[in-house]
Amino acid sequence: MWPENMPQNASKGPSRGLIIDKTRMGELVQELADRIVAANPDLSEVTLVGIRTRGTHLARRIAERVAKSVGQTVPVGILDITLYRDDLRARIDQPELLRTEIPGPVEGHNIILVDDVLFTGRTIRAALDGIMDLGRARKIQLAVLVDRGHRELPIRANYTGQYIETTQDETVRVRFVEDGDEDSVILREIQRP
């Protein structure tokens, strides 16, 4: 399900391997920060909430870019969605629970959920449930670095770095220096047994 008004930054049928390098990734983060600032004139009411783990890295980077651009600090929270996943019962292993940390109240604030890749929409649905359990936000928005299509739920990002057309047999992996990798986005074919 592609947006009708897919922007110019859409990639159709990229080759496998490196599809976004370190430089382009930095540009996309800046574009996300700029769009968030433009759409939210009162940043004092905004909290960026990264979905663990790579969404948190992205949220922190967006917040840094916002601070550099407009000189205002936007708080960054971390959301663990483990218990909200709709496939939790299907997992054999005991889930590893990590802490959710939201700086300040959710109630009455504008929450911007941040994740690295938007795919089926199920992760975002779980994140929405997690945020709503913490309070009634005035508004919840979504920012993602990559939208790869294949939605299973009616979810769409407010802010998208880049649309990348993929198949179900491919995976998109966003890498961050915070995890010991070089900043990049990699497209790979899923190896089936």
Query: What CATH number does the domain containing 33 carry?
Result: 3.40.50.2020
Domain membership of residue 1 (yes or no) is no
- Mean pLDDT confidence for 104-133: 96
CA 180: distance to chain centroid?
Answer: 19
Tokens found for residue 60: 């922190």
Write the pLDDT tens digit of every residue in 134-186: 999 999 999 999 999 999 999 999 999 999 999 999 999 999 999 999 999 99
Domain membership of residue 112 (yes or no) is yes
What is the percent of the chain with per-residue pLDDT over 90, rounded to a whole number? 78
Domain membership of residue 7 (yes or no) is no
Question: Which domain, by its residues, includes 132?
Answer: 22-169
Secondary element (H or E) of residue 189: strand 184-189
44 pLDDT band (50/70/90 cuts)?
very high
pLDDT of residue 9: 58
192 pLDDT band (50/70/90 cuts)?
confident
Contacts of 38 (CB under 8 A, 6+ apart): none
- Mean pLDDT confidence for 68-94: 81
Domain membership of residue 184 (yes or no) is no
Query: By three-state DSSP, how is residue 38 classified?
Result: helix
Number of domains forming the structure of the chain: 1
> Residues in the chain, how many?
193
Task: Give yes or no for a contact between 18 and 181, defined as CB atoms under 8 angstroms apart.
Answer: no
- Give the DSSP letter string of 78-129: EE--GGG-TTTTT--SPPPP---B-SS--TTSEEEEEEEEESSSHHHHHHHH
Task: Give yes or no for a contact between 127 and 50, defined as CB atoms under 8 angstroms apart.
Answer: no
Domain membership of residue 8 (yes or no) is no
Q: Is the pLDDT reported for residue 1 higher than 50?
A: no
Distance CA 73, CA 33 (A): 12
For residue 57, give the nearest of 48, 66, 67 by alpha carbon: 48
Q: Is the pLDDT reported for residue 26 higher than 80?
A: yes
Task: Look up residue 145 and give its amino acid.
Answer: L
Distance CA 165, CA 10 (A): 8
pLDDT of residue 175: 97
Distance CA 160, CA 158 (A): 7
Torsion on CA atoms 29, 113, 79, 132, rounded to nearest 10: 170
pLDDT of residue 12: 54
83 pLDDT band (50/70/90 cuts)?
confident
Q: Is the pLDDT reported for residue 81 higher than 50?
A: yes
Domain membership of residue 88 (yes or no) is yes
Domain membership of residue 174 (yes or no) is no
The answer to which of 70-84, 90-104, 134-148 has the lowest mean pLDDT is: 90-104
Domain membership of residue 13 (yes or no) is no
pLDDT of residue 75: 97
